[in-house]
Every structure is written in C-alpha cells, then in structure tokens.
Amino acid sequence: MRVKQLLSLSPPKTERHIAAVLTAEANQKITQSCVHRFIVAHNDLVKGAIQKSEKLTERVAGLELDTVQQRQDIIKEIQELARQAKKGGELKTALYGLDKAIGAMDSLDKRLGRLTGDGTTVNVSVQVNQYMGALVAVIGKHCNLEQQSELRRELLGIGTGTGATA
C-alpha cells in the first residue's frame, strides 16, 4: 500500500520514482513495469468495486420502488373494500377498513422517511361513538319504547359479539 501513499503525494510521483523508492525500502529490485502493473490492477479492482456498488444501489432502489408500489396497491384495495362496506351499510367494517388503510399509509410514510414518529395517533373509535350516539338519538325519535329496547339490546350484542349481525 506504500504505492498508494506515494501516488497521493503532491505533486504525484512517477512510476519510475515509486519503483526507486520501493527498491530502496525493500532492498529488492522493483521495476517500473511492476509498479505500472500494480497500479493498473489496483485501478481495475477499484473500478470493479465501484461498478458493483452502483449496480447494487440500482437494484436496491428498484426493490424499494417495487415495495412502495405494492404498498400503494394494497392501500388502494383496502380503501376500495371500505367504500364497498360503507355502500353496503356496514359502517363498522368500513371504519375498520379505513383504520387499516391509515395504518398502511403511516407504515409507507415511515418507510419513505416522511414521518418522524411524533407519537400522533388517530382514534377512529371516537367517530364510532359519535355515530352510535346519533343513531341512538334517531332511534329515540322514531321508535316506541319497546322497539328502542329491542334495538339497544341488538346494538349492545353487536359490540359484544352476540348480536345478529356480529
């Protein structure tokens, strides 16, 4: 590696000068041709390492793009399923789908370095509770006491997994 040290001197030394220095230090004849072959071989090795590194970097970038695209496709699919559930009147399922979509988007953002992890969370259950409160008010307005009791039992059963639509 003494050759690299001698090459890095300012002004750079010639192959002849490097051969003379190495001959004196090693007490063995080292020719200019030998120094030249070493420099060429070393440069080829460095070029090869750089090319491999560039190819690896390109491959990793391609894989990253594929992963991002797959995640985006999954997010779109989750959003579509949530829309279908909402159209079908399955609001609980739709909210669950949206919650999963939010989680997938957060995961993608973290992967891309867009989020710093400040601890912000989205609480979907607040929306569910607000919806349920509004639903109970509508039931109270349009149903008699017997119907209200039956609907409340049914809704409570859904929450515990014992209702008809659970």
Per-domain residue ranges for the chain? 54-122, 123-166
Predicted local confidence at residue 42, as pLDDT? 83
CA dist., res. 76 & res. 14, Å (int) = 63
CA 117 → CA 106, 107, 110, 114, 166, distances in Å?
10, 11, 8, 9, 35
Residue ranges of the chain whose pLDDT lies below 50: 115, 166
Predicted confidence at residue 26, as pLDDT, reads 85
- As a whole number of angstroms, the distance between CA 79 and CA 127 comes to 17
Q: For residues 165 and 151, give the distance between their C-alpha atoms in angstroms, rounded to a whole number.
A: 12
d(CA 153, CA 147): 10
